[in-house]
Amino acid sequence: MQMSPMVFTVLLGTIFGVLSASLSKALRYQAPDECKWMILGPDGEGVTEFVSDGSSGDEDVFLLCRLRTINSELENTNFSVIQPQHTVRLRLECSDVLLFQSSLSSGSFRPLVELRDLSIEYCKIGNLLEVLNLTRNRLQNVSNLKFSLGEMAASSNLGPSERCGGNLRMLDLSNNSIDSLQPNTLSGLSRLQTLNLQGNGISFLADRALEGLTSLTVLRLADNKLSNLPPELFSDTRDIKEVYLQNNSINVLAPGLFNEMTQLLVLDLSRNELTAEWVNTATFVGLVRLVVLDMSYNRISKLESSVFRDLYSLQILRLQNNIIESIPENTFSSLYNLHTLILSDNKLTVIDSYTFNGLYVLSLLSIDNNNILSIHPEALKNCSSLQDLHLNGNKLLEVPTTLSDVPLLKTLDLGENHIIDITNTSLNGMQHIYGLRLTENNIGNLTKGVFEKMTALQILNLSRNKIYKVEPGAFDSNTNLQAIRMDGNYLTDIGGLFTKLPNLVWLNISDNKLEWFDYALIPTGLKWLDIHSNKIAELGNYFEIENQLHLSSFDASYNKLTEITGSAIPDSVEALYLNNNQISKVQSYTFFKKPNLTRVDLVENNITSLTPNSLRISAVASNKELPEFHIGGNPYRCDCTMDWLLRINGDNTARIQPRLVDLDSIYCRLVYNRGRTFVPLIETPPTQFLCEYETHCFMLCHCCDFDACDCEMTCPTNCTCYNDQSWSANVVDCSRAGYSDGLPERIPMDATELYLDGNDIRTLGSHAFIGRKRLKILLLNASSIDIIHNRTFNGLRELELLRLDDNRMRELRGYEFDGCVRQGRNETDGEYIDEDMKDDEGEPGFFLLLDNTTTCAGANAIEKLMNDTFSATNTMIRRQIIADYLPLLITTMCFFALVVVLTLLVFFYRQEMRVWFHSRYGIRLFYRGVEIDRDDREKLFDAFVSYSSKDEAFVAEELAPTLEHGDPPYKLCLHYRDFPVGAFIADTIVQAVESSRRTIMVLSENFIKSEWCRFEFKSAHHQVLRDRRRRLIVVLLGEVPQKDLDPDIRLYLKTNTYLQWGDKLFWEKLRFALPDVPNNQRGARGGGIGTGHNRNVVNHHVVHHHVHRHNNHNHNHPNNTSPPPAGHGPQPRSVAIHI
């Protein structure tokens, strides 16, 4: 069907009309170049981000333009490109770098018919109101005209203003360089309500400077240079409500200046130079509506009794920081609406009975930092509504008795006075007080009942007094206490003071004379505790309540702590400060199971060594920051146990070690170094982390009981020997050891450095250093050596440095160094090497030997010298080569050597091979205890674990879970889980060992010094371990001093398997030492005996012990009962169940 022309025309017009309407809607608002816009919400605030282009609907628009200048020598500005529709707010920002002055032409903003808010900043406009034509607009607010760097010149004229500003409501000219305000300057702004002129340099105001501003309500002239105010300044502004004149230099107030300002609400005259001469009875006459009067920081020395006579509406009066010496009677009697009076920092000495007469609704009174000696007993009789009273910084000798007249008092500050004593009646009647400050007085002892009536007390500050003793129970009635400060006193005991305060969360008892501390002395709900700068030697935890405390911040710095254990640190702690103590030992697992830790400070202590377990923490989630530890400022020894610190910040994938934030600044003392002693820890190579040893026998060495044993390291007499953690460095120092006519006996075979300088050796025999294949450094200088036999240095294949200087050698033939093929360095003392002393490749044959009588170098050199110089009696014997037999001889010797090496390897590493075969294939090579293990399969447990209670973290978190939940799973008997409560310990141990196929003894320093000292514990172990069939497995945990081992334990170590915790193959060796688990029982052993229903299965007829472990009680010890201080309680503590 063919469309008619008429229909087609209508349809086409409709399409183009809709299209043009949609386009105009989408492109309704376009910002000019260098401008951005945002849509304004109903409250006038932006609801979108600034954009440079786009669209808006019918919403109001805020336009921001950043220009270099406005109509300056650089460029012309055309504001006609701004779309007049919807532009209700315009902000122009010029560059504050350019010094060119901007200007505005008449009618610049005339097209912006909807403009209501205009802001011009940093544009350096010299004459604003004369050229700014805002007629025919809707402008109501001109704000933020902040010109920097003297944008509005001092000579600029702000008028005339008759031609513009008739509708202006607010004018902000603050922070410019205006120095004066001339008559009629602003007379055309008849509707102006707010005028901001603060922050200029105004020093002169004309009498009629505010003429014509009949609608002005707020005037801000603060921060200028005014010294006086003309009498007629406010003649046209009688309705003004707020006047701010602070921070000028006003020293004169014209009489009657404020008399006609009956609508004035706020008058701020603070920080001027007013004196009593100009602040008198006539100054404030007629200000009947004045609410706030501020005359602080002036020079007022006295007040006339009728100066505030007409100010009966006044609510806030500030007179602080003047020099007022006295206040006449009834000065404030007409101020019956006053609720805040501040008279701080004056020179008042006495408060009379009528000083505050008539202040019936006064709620805050501050007369602190005066020289008040006494307050009349009835001074506050008419101030019964008082809630906050500040009397600090005066010279009061006692608590004023007039406080009984203010029963509604909530906060009282009596700090920085000379109060000596507080009696039970001093603070009676203050049932509503929640804040009491008594710091920096001379208060002595506090008796019970002083604060008894203050049941609402929440904050108490008694710091910086002379309190020697507080009677126990002094705070028992103040159960609402939340924060207490008692720092800076002379307290020696805090027993019975805080335990009955359930709401206490903040406690500061630092800088006292406390010599002992126990967590039982504080409430469990405490979150912030400061005990620094005392004399505390131990953080006691008698009732073992570390898991019940809620401490998050704990400061115990600047005390006399010597050792830190896990039980001494609350489990909830986040920030722990232990710096500047005398801590020399951090026990293993001290910070384990402290999941909230974020910071630990151990700076400036006496720590010389740390093990990985000393700083071990619970595993931290990957999305959580590692705790930060500060450990610098300690006298560390870089021994073989400290090299792990080099890797702690970089190799912590398991996230079980903290981040050491000051690792770069730590210095340590090297155990042995012939150069520097103190070095940066992170710059020290691992081979210099050495430990001293006398004798050492490797675990796989089986000849240590014999004299000729190459794998036993014994330090020679008068020498000192050192090794690193991996024994890759073995240093033997025999320098100046007094050896004569020979070398020391039994030099360790694994020595890597040997220092023999400074002795009287004289003769070095053939093969003197045979077998020392790892020797790299050998010093024999200054040892009076005169003869070196052939092949003396044979076998030193790794030798890099050899010194033979400063000896007495007269002749070398060259064969002395046979077999010494890898010299890496020559000691020449700066001399050059002669060409005749080099071999065919130009390298030295061996080391030059200086400072001897005669020195020859190398066989070639000796032969040349003999042929040319010496007698033929010294003949050089050339080596003959047996070419026919050499290949066969070498092959045979190599095969024989290979067989010997393999045999030795199998012999020396047979234990590792057995462990490896067992861990890989479950096969026990050369095992002879199969029949015994088969007979023991019916026993209840695979192993009984004996350990110290202080090592519970290791057993419960490491040892037991790995064995009970591993493959294969073992059934373990643990003290803390499987012993019946109250059982006699000796009988229980005997039954546990008899019911177990193996016994694991966790041997540590804690074990030796605590549990092993108990007779019944020790006898029970002896009784059941005499039978060699009850095979014992000893696990060495940490460093165990040899001197502390008694003969019984030494016998156990010699006759049983022992393992060192931290060994790379620890778990494989432990499983090898444990009995095999039958295949038909592996699936049924899920999590060990403690996870099933067979808990506490060790049960027999033993009688109950009379002492029980206080581990999971609720801290309900008797009232006013504290743990005995260190040295005064029963020692040692009896523990019946948990070892």
CA separation for the pair 427, 454 (Å, rounded): 8
Which long-range CB contacts under 8 A does 136-139 form with residues at least 24 apart? 136/110, 137/109, 137/110, 137/112, 137/113, 138/113, 138/114, 138/167, 139/109, 139/115, 139/167, 139/168
pLDDT score for 1025: 60
CA separation for the pair 528, 511 (Å, rounded): 16
Q: Which tokens is 681 given?
A: 């820890």
The one-letter amino acid at 322: N
pLDDT score for 25: 36
CA separation for the pair 1139, 976 (Å, rounded): 8
pLDDT score for 843: 41
Q: Is residue 1130's pLDDT more than 70?
A: no
1066, 1034 contact by CB (below 8 A): no
Backbone angles phi, psi at 484, to 5 degrees: -135, 130
Helix (H) or strand (E) holding 390: strand 388-390
Domain residue limits, the chain: 28-153, 250-419, 425-513, 767-876, 929-1091
Backbone angles phi, psi at 997, to 5 degrees: -80, -25
The one-letter amino acid at 488: G
Count CB-CB contacts under 10 A for residue 855. 17
Q: What is the DSSP string of 571-630?
A: TT-SEEE--SS---EE-TTTTTT-TT--EEE--SS------GGGG--PPPPTTSPPPEEE
Listed range (2-6, 739-743, 829-833, 998-1002) with the worst mean pLDDT:
829-833
> What are 204-216's pLDDT values in tens digits?
998 888 888 889 9
Sequence-separated (6 or more) residues with CB below 8 Å from residue 1112: none
Give which of 231, 221, 227, 267 is closest to 250, Cα–Cα: 227
Q: How far apart are the first and last CA of the chain?
A: 106
Count CB-CB contacts under 10 A for residue 585. 17
275, 252 contact by CB (below 8 A): no
* Residue predicted with more confidence, 184 or 827: 184
> What are 563-599's pLDDT values in tens digits?
999 999 999 999 999 999 999 999 999 999 999 999 9
Listed range (8-17, 57-66, 356-365) with the worst mean pLDDT:
8-17
Q: Is residue 653's pLDDT more than 50?
A: yes
Task: Determine the angle formed by the axes of helices 985-994 and 1015-1025, rounding to 10 degrees.
Answer: 20
CA separation for the pair 688, 731 (Å, rounded): 10
Mean pLDDT over 446-454 rounds to 90
Q: Which tokens is 641 given?
A: 């146990």
pLDDT score for 1015: 56
CA separation for the pair 785, 760 (Å, rounded): 7
pLDDT score for 338: 96
Mean pLDDT over 327-355 rounds to 94
CA separation for the pair 216, 8 (Å, rounded): 66
Q: Mean pLDDT highest for which of 537-551, 905-919, 1024-1038?
A: 537-551
pLDDT score for 324: 96
Listed range (205-219, 279-293, 838-852) with the worst mean pLDDT:
838-852
Mean pLDDT over 668-676 rounds to 83
Q: What is the CATH number of domain 929-1091?
A: 3.40.50.10140
Mean pLDDT over 198-204 rounds to 90
Fold: same for 425-513 and 929-1091: no
Q: Which tokens is 175 given?
A: 């922070």
1060, 1066 contact by CB (below 8 A): yes
Q: What is the mean pLDDT of the chain?
A: 79
CA separation for the pair 794, 796 (Å, rounded): 6
Give which of 411, 406, 320 is closest to 368, Cα–Cα: 320
Helix (H) or strand (E) holding 912: helix 910-921
pLDDT band at residue 1021, thresholds of 50, 70 and 90?
low
1138, 1111 contact by CB (below 8 A): yes
Give which of 385, 383, 433 is closest to 413, Cα–Cα: 433
Pairing of strands 777-779, 204-205: unpaired
pLDDT score for 772: 86
pLDDT score for 19: 38
Sequence-separated (6 or more) residues with CB below 8 Å from residue 477: 451, 452, 453, 454, 455
The domain defined by 250-419 carries CATH number 2.60.200.20: no
Q: How far is CA 537 from CA 87, 498, 532, 597, 1069, in A?
A: 74, 21, 12, 23, 41
CA separation for the pair 1125, 458 (Å, rounded): 30
DSSP character at residue 651: S
Q: Mean pLDDT highest for which of 115-129, 275-289, 810-824, 1041-1055?
A: 275-289
Q: Any idea what the Cα angle at residue 947 is, between residues 946 and 951, rounded to 5°?
A: 155
Q: Is residue 258's pLDDT more than 60?
A: yes
pLDDT band at residue 433, thresholds of 50, 70 and 90?
very high
Is 1060 in a helix, a strand, or coil? strand
Q: How far is CA 516 from CA 188, 537, 562, 763, 1110, in A?
A: 79, 7, 13, 65, 21
Q: Which tokens is 513 given?
A: 């004379």
Count CB-CB contacts under 10 A for residue 555. 20
Hey, what CATH topology would domain 425-513 get? 3.80.10
Is 392 in a helix, a strand, or coil? coil
Q: Is residue 354's pLDDT more than 80?
A: yes
* Residue predicted with more confidence, 839 or 279: 279
> What are 473-511's pLDDT values in tens digits?
999 999 999 999 999 999 999 999 999 999 999 999 999
> What are 22-64's pLDDT values in tens digits?
333 334 667 777 788 788 776 666 656 656 555 555 678 888 8
pLDDT band at residue 12, thresholds of 50, 70 and 90?
very low
1111, 544 contact by CB (below 8 A): yes
Is 991 in a helix, a strand, or coil? helix
Q: How far is CA 787 from CA 259, 474, 756, 813, in A?
A: 119, 88, 16, 11
Q: Which tokens is 449 given?
A: 């009942």
pLDDT score for 146: 33
CA separation for the pair 79, 277 (Å, rounded): 56
* Residue predicted with more confidence, 1019 or 442: 442
pLDDT band at residue 706, thresholds of 50, 70 and 90?
low
